[in-house]
Amino acid sequence: MSEQVTVHGEVDSGFGAVADAFRRNFAGHGEIGAAVAVFEGDRPVVDLWAGWRDRKRGLPWERDTMAPVWSSTKGITAFVVAAAVSRGLLDYEAPVAKYWPEFGVNGKESITVHQLLDHQAGLAALDRPVRLRDMADPDGLAVVLAEQKPLWQPGTRHGYHPITAGLYQGELIRRVDPEHRTLGRVFAEDFAKPLGLDFYIGLPESVSLDRVATLSATEGLDILRYERDLPLRIGVQLYAKRGLSFRALNSPQVGAPARAARREFLEVESPAAGGVGTARSLARVYGAAAGNTGELPIDAELLDRLASADTAQDVPAEDLVLLTPSRYHLGFRKSCGSFRFGTDARAYGTTGYGGSLGFADPATGLGFGYTMNRLGMAVLDDVRSRNLREALRRSV
């Protein structure tokens, strides 16, 4: 259902194309509620929101409305890991078992932090069933994670770890942090508080769910109206309830994606898929990284490494889980094939199920954030975020 909406917020001169694309997403691409933001370093140049934060279109999307962003959380987590590397607590090229001895069994002895971050560890799914209540017990969860055998020879291929990536990285951070803080707490204290971010990995009880947009699955005729990039090969596995893609997307079992805006899901730290926040916050942290403003607890040399155009991957580009070419670099996505973002190969960020996206464009010093509540079905390249980032590229 297309409709005319009132777009709220501000856009700097020269970025009007982004506002136009944002408005067109409502008119022709089934947007219900959404927000988009762009920061040049620490300065907002685009800050827009519109539509509704509920499926029935009764509650307006407001300036401080947050949304579950699924795997866009992975970029935030990768920044936390980078901060630990910057502090000398971790080394990307060291074995995970150096910091987590129990991890080094069942063929995982040589897996490096780098391989774990770049989805090469073969740990995309767990053999033992794990649910939300299990994820809330980090000590018990660590035992399950450490016992898991790789599903392929680590370092030879990559396959997206939709949820398990964050669980492994979260335990790694808990092991090396001097105070043994959880990853969500490290982010809250070392990133969110100094930068004034509305973004959480583990939603505090003090934050009202009224601020969180309700997600809406795309169903029925709306699939034909708005979706052009359907993941048919993954869909076959999901329908048959078998195959690596099905296993990875259902391990751990956290419930239907459209039900993510519930406290029992958001309060559990899931550093790969459980983040909730504003587009403004995504753009703010990526803007600080892209502009190297000195506000992040990550040194300039390491930020340059995150922006490296050479991902130096010796593994095939075909993703064993997503069944499409993909590239990863130190926990972030890089442009690959037809999926392009930023103005050159240095750009890095992460996409989230349904369409959300955050990325840094070091060539321009811009950080981008997009959140929404209609869940698109593309594997990587949702048409709405593509419209916005192409408009941004034309603007710069």
- Catalytic site positions: 71
Shortest CA distance to 175 belongs to which of 205, 228, 138? 138
Spell out the residues 6+ positions from residue 1 whose beta carbon is closer than 8 angstroms to its own.
30
Peptide bond before 178: cis, by omega within 30 degrees of 0?
A: no
| C-beta separation of 194 from 202 below 8 A | no
User: Which residue, 293, 278, 269, 252, is CA-closest to 370?
Assistant: 278
Distance CA(217)–CA(30), nearest Å, equals 11
Q: Return the biggest CA–CA distance within the chain.
A: 57
Q: Are 219 and 96 in contact (CB under 8 A)?
A: no
Pairing of strands 366-372, 374-375: unpaired
3-state SS class at 49:
strand
Tokens found for residue 241: 């309830």
**The sheet that has 357-361: what strands, in order across it?**
8-11, 43-51, 33-40, 366-372, 357-361, 348-351, 332-334, 327-329
Separation between Cα atoms, residue 203 and residue 253, nearest integer Å = 19
